[in-house]
Amino acid sequence: MVNKSEERGLKELISAAQHYRGMARTFRSSVGVAFQMWDGKVFGGFNIETYGHKGLHAEEVGIVRALAEGYNGTDFRRMVEIFQDAGHSEVEIFPACFTCWAAMWEWTHPYLEVIVADTEGNSKYSVRLKEMFSQAPPAQIYPSNKIREIKPKINFMPKLPLHSELKEFAKKDPEFEKYCKILRVQI
């Protein structure tokens, strides 16, 4: 059961995603995301479409904004996304595109909560990032822990200690525990 404070927090996060969707610089699709960190700080993102460049996805913008403030990896708690394509009358209900899944997989963590909402502010469903993939993500596309060990990122230290909710996942998931050790996160 969700408590009132948590429900209010989710409504505020959905409202933030709606706000960022309104900032989208696009000619076709309109996407807004809001990433919430474990300390409550929110970073928003919106898509920027261009004719001469690949453009920027809302998820990428939100992640980069958080990274620019010193947050990393396990500091991310959850993300709300709202997406609508100009070619459809109804809201598309799916979390991110394949490119953004890859960015989230590399820069956040497998237990990031991904919430999809509609433009009216209704939460449609929630899934953990890890659950968005079939059994195991393809190693040639998503960085495995082996790649993380071989090519560690410089200055990639979490701003926050590992949250107690994530500690439970680290105890149950050897791959996530290994990921935390690579990031030098105290479990």
Q: For residue 31, which amino acid is it?
A: V
Q: What is the pLDDT of residue 50?
A: 86
Q: What is the pLDDT of residue 106?
A: 85
Contacts of 121-130 with C-beta under 8 Å, sequence gap 24+, read 121/11, 121/14, 121/15, 121/18, 123/10, 123/14, 123/80, 124/93, 125/93, 127/95, 129/101, 129/104, 129/105
Q: What is the pLDDT of residue 159?
A: 83
Distance of alpha carbon 148 from alpha carbon 106, whole angstroms? 9
Q: What is the pLDDT of residue 154?
A: 64
- Lookup: tokens for 138: 């393809």
Model confidence over 61-98: pLDDT tens digits? 999 999 999 998 899 999 999 987 766 555 555 666 77
User: Mean pLDDT of successive 10-residue segments in the chain (187 residues)?
Assistant: 74 96 88 95 94 88 95 93 71 67 87 91 89 55 59 72 89 86 78
Q: Which domains does the chain have, with CATH numbers?
A: 4-134 (3.40.140.10)
Q: What is the pLDDT of residue 149?
A: 67
| pTM of structure | 0.83
